A = this chain, B = another copy of it.
């Protein structure tokens, strides 16, 4: 072996954030976008006595029937302790109902009530509007590809659960 080996790759060639640029960095863009999406929804919901955790729980419950509370926490992206208190309120308002799990008496399942469905139905058009604004001018094909990538990303970041 001679001295004339090819030049080493630099020890750490991790590109810097400044080199990538904020607006080419996906997590940054996603935080910016969701920050505004969530803030604008929060403002609209405030008038209806709904907080972000309550709104998210309702949204998930409109789709998923009777999940455990810890599952609902994952699906709705809310800390379990925060969710527990949000459910107190939602139950107090008659929008959801807690029900002991049949086979595990530690566990509680949560169901949306008819009133809860009605509440979500008044709320959904606002969410749909915010969604439409986000995707304004983006062709269907591109939207589908985008959602496809998001789905791959979700499986990537999941720990191993739900």
Contact = CB atoms under 8 A, between A and B. Distances in A.
Contacts of A64: 22
Given A62-B18, A135-B153, A34 B34 contact: yes
Contacts of A124: 14, 16-17
Nearest to A12: B125
Interface residues of A, number: 56
- Copies of the protein in its oligomer: 2
Q: SS class of chain A's interface: helix, strand, loop or mixed?
A: helix
B63 A18 contact: yes
Interface string A112-148: 0000000000001101101101111110001101110
Contacts of A154: 23, 29, 32-33
Given A17-B59, A29-B147, A150-B29, A35 B77 contact: yes
A131 B29 CA distance: 12
